[in-house]
Structure 1
Amino acid sequence: MTLHIFNPSHDEALAAHTAHYCPSRPARQLAHALAELPLQWAAEGDVCLRLPASGGTEGVEVPDWTAVERIEPWGWDRHIVGLLRRLGAPERLLPSDERLCALRRMSSRKTGVRWAEGLHVDDLPGVVKPRAVFCTSTAAAVEAALAMDGRAMVKQPWSCSGRGVWPFADDAACRRRIDKAVRLQGGVEVQARCEGLLDAAMEFTVDADGRVHFEGLSLFTTAPGGAYGGNLTAHPDRLRRTWLDCAAKAGCPLSETVLETLIERTASRLEACYGAGQADETMRYVGPLGVDVLGAREGWLPYVEINLRRTMGHVALAVGARFSPDRPPRLLRVADDGLHLDEWSEA
């Protein structure tokens, strides 16, 4: 059987890069409340590990390790490995520290920028080339942002959902934040800011042979600060139609042909950077991943960030797979009291 773990603190843990890191209180509460979230995609006979809201190991129901064939967390990091060791997990089920360091390097925005640089979209109508630079000094970051007319987002290497991400300002406060990120995490990504109209993603899986498989599209809502709100869920065919309809209504239309080509090129580029294209197998990623994209007034931006972990887009696809094709889309969101499916309207 597979032991599933929902550890939403994964991105924070990558930044901390220590087994002794303590997740934020909201992350601990969410992990405890939604411990059974993986049942949405788990196989029959799989089990979930419920982590206490305290962040410790007290009261945890330890599985029979002899019956566990593999462990699938939301994402692997030193913190979750340390916690599993304290619970007695055998080393055969855990990645080595060398592997954890490789996963962390792959998950950095530095690698994401390199991926975006090689994505060819110049011939795709309605798609704009992403402008992003990874900078290892404050001076370089400021120079890059000013070259974008100051309309830029600054992003720490390991961050998501609005945390560790802020709009550039040509002032001392912004420089101090960049200084701190450079000192503690080695650099920042500076990305040209577009006028966003629609938050979306493309969801993939990389298999053990390094081949990338497209799983489906994702539409999600965010708060003004970038915090995650919820994901649209529907039958895959219905979701694809809704995705294209929403893009057209928002003012960033995309044709079926261009969308399909963009998906294919995204998958090919992912395979080159994270999969079979890497001769060194230790630098290959295996598992689910998501590429956040943005429908903007300027056109579709095919790279906002890459999440080398399971995403809420994958969850929405798993839930939507059980919908009938004629069932209207719902808004899937998570809260401390569980998973919710709310009514949704395109208006």
Structure 2
Amino acid sequence: MTLHIFNPEHDIALAANLENFTSPHAGRQLRYELGYLPALWASADDVVLVDDVHEAEKNFQMFRTYVKRMGLRNNNLPSAHFVTKRELASLTEVCRAEPWGWDLAVRTMLVKNGISGTILPSISDVENVRQLSHRRITAQMLPLMQTEGTLGEAHEFFDSESLRSWQQSRGTVVVKAPWSSSGRGVRFFKDIAWNVNQEGWLNNVLKHQGSVMAEPYYNKVKDFAMEFECRAGKVSYCGLSLFDTSNGAYTGNILATEKAKEQMICRYVAEAYLHEIKEKAIIALEQLLATDYEGPLGIDMMIVNDGEDGLKLHPCVEVNLRRTMGHVALCLSELCNPDHDDEWVRVMRNQGTGLKLRLL
């Protein structure tokens, strides 16, 4: 039996690195409303930890009904066994735990509520995941993924003066906190004369996280990602994730067959080129982290308009060492696609009390 946990506050918990971490309200609300999500990939004998069993059952049933109303086949949608923290100590058959992402807070919560530490990663293992989740992994990945037609660079800075000196030759740059959630912890520095808010944010991140990552600003044309899974030191490819963002925050995923998604991306890059990047990503991931990480992960990428040089691919904007909404979209595409029609495309969005699908 595997215990599944949806802990969407994971990225913020990594930054805090506390055993007793209280998620911001938005994270708690998301966990309450979408706590049923792991039921989509859990096996029949597994259990899913939720805040409220009644709420999870209601929201999961609402989603199943919504899928049916959209005219999609939903007989593949699994049933689910939801539990709360109060029941964890009695679940003696649990032999594995799989959260959205591993951090010190989720491990501590499981131990405090009766899950044996012998089936969990050790504290040092969790710290290894945290260090690998530092955004410097992007700077390490990029040289291993570059090929003709790619661009991208990322640099780590430990003080404001070295960052300012580097920015002078770059103009607008994107500065990122080492650990932060999607759309947060990112600032655009456009002028050499930084304002008070920029100075304050930068100094605060340097004080609490030790460094910042910075990269040139690119003229983005299209966001997408490649999703992977790492097991026993080997990395396998799961599929493409085509998603939308607003002000850097995730807003929705396209649900489609792999062929249809490839066709969308191949409007910008050649298919053979896309496959080359995938193979380079697998090699780089196995080289840098496969011995220290087990579970799902994703690499955010983007198509960039590089002016006179035309469209180029940034092969590694971010590495997410956790499950992503891209993995959820892949799971839903497999569960809900009735005919495996290459033109079957819908958009998944988080709206209110659950996931919603709508026609493109």
TM-score (norm 1): 0.88
**Counterpart contact for 1:34–1:336, Cα < 8 Å:** no
Secondary structure, in 3 states, of the residue corresponding to 1:189? strand
Determine the C-alpha separation between the residues in 1 that align with 2:166 and 2:143.
15
- Partners of 1:172 and 1:238 in 2: how far apart? 45
Point out where structure 2 has 5 or more consecutive residues left out of the alignment. 54-83, 307-311
Distance in 2 between residues matched to 1:179 and 1:219, nearest whole Å:
35
Q: Does 1:305 align with 2:334?
A: no
- List per-residue Cα deviations over 1:16-69 (Å, max 9, x = no partner): 00012210101101111111101111122211100369xxxxx64523331111
- Report what 1:289 is aligned to: 297
Given candidates 117, 126, 130, the residue that maps to 1:104 is 130
> What is the letter of the counterpart of residue 174 of structure 2?
M
1:145 aligned to 167, 187, 204, which one? 167
> Are the equivalent residues in 1 in contact too, given 2:146–2:315 (CA < 8 A)?
no
Corresponding residue of 2:78: none
Give the one of 316, 329, 335 matched to 2:345. Answer: 329
Which of 188, 198, 201 pairs up with 2:222?
A: 198
> Does residue 1:267 correspond to 2:294, yes or no?
no
Letter in 1 for 2:348: L
Q: Could you list the runs of 4 or more consecutive aligned residues of structure 1 that deviate by over 3 angstroms after TM superposition?
A: none
Q: Does 1:165 align with 2:183?
A: no
Match of 2:76 in 1: none
**RMSD after superposition:** 1.8
Partner of 1:278: none
CA displacement at 1:162 relative to structure 2: 1.0
Distance 2:21 2:252 in 1: 27
Is the 8 Å Cα contact of residues 262 and 271 (structure 2) preserved in structure 1? no
Residues 45 and 311 from structure 1, CA distance in 2 versus in 1: closer, same or farther, beyond 3 angstroms?
Answer: same
1:20 corresponds to which residue?
20
- Alignment equivalent of 1:73, drawn from 94, 99, 105: 99
After superposition, the C-alpha distances for 1:283-336 in whole angstroms (9 at most, x for unaligned) are x21111000001121221111110000000011011111313215211112234
Question: Per-residue displacement from partner, 1:160-191 (whole Å, max 9, x unpaired)?
Answer: 32110111133133232211111100101001
CA distance in 1, matches of 2:126, 2:226: 25
Q: How many angstroms does 1:143 deviate by?
A: 2.1
1:44 and 1:187, CA in 2 relative to 1: closer, same or farther beyond 3 A?
same
Between stretches 327-336 and 131-140, larger displacement belongs to 327-336
Amino acid paired to 1:291: I
Q: Distance in 1 between matches of 2:91 and 2:138?
A: 36
Match of 1:7 in 2: 7
Runs of at least 5 residues in structure 1 that lack an aligned partner in the other structure:
54-58, 276-280
TM (norm. structure 2) is 0.84
